[in-house]
Copies of this chain bind each other. A is one copy, B any other.
Amino acid sequence: MEDGVCSRIYVKGGGGCGGESGSGGGGKGSGSSKCGRWNPTAEQVKVLTELFRSGLRTPSSDQIQKISHHLSFYGKIESKNVFYWFQNHKARERQKRRKLSLPQQHQQQQQHFILPTSSNHQHFADQSMTNKGIMELEPERMMRTLQLFPLNSTIDETQGLPDDDDHQFRVNGMQYEDATAFTYKIETKMDHPPLDLRLSFL
Contacts and interface: CB of A to CB of B under 8 A. Distances in A.
Interface of A: 1-14, 28-30, 40, 42, 45, 49, 58-62, 64-66, 68-69, 78-80, 83, 87, 89, 92-93, 95-96, 99-111, 113-116, 121-122, 124-125, 130-131, 133-136, 138-147, 155, 157, 159, 177-178
Q: How many copies does the complex hold?
A: 2
A134 B61 contact: yes
28 contacts: A2-B96, A2-B138, A3-B93, A4-B140, A4-B141, A5-B138, A5-B141, A5-B142, A9-B147, A10-B111, A12-B113, A13-B139, A60-B108, A61-B134, A61-B143, A61-B144, A61-B145, A64-B102, A66-B124, A69-B139, A79-B102, A79-B133, A79-B134, A79-B136, A106-B157, A108-B159, A121-B177, A122-B177
A130 B62 CA distance: 12
A12 B114 CA distance: 10
A45 B21 CA distance: 37
B61 A107 contact: yes
Contacts of A11: 109, 111, 113, 141, 143
Contacts of A95: 1-2
Q: Which of A6, A40, A155 gathers most chain B CB within 10 Å?
A: A6
The SS class assigned to the A binding surface is: loop
B4 A30 contact: no
A121 B177 CA distance: 8
A96 B64 CA distance: 15
Contact of A140 (B5, B102, B144): B5
Contacts of A45: 1-2, 6
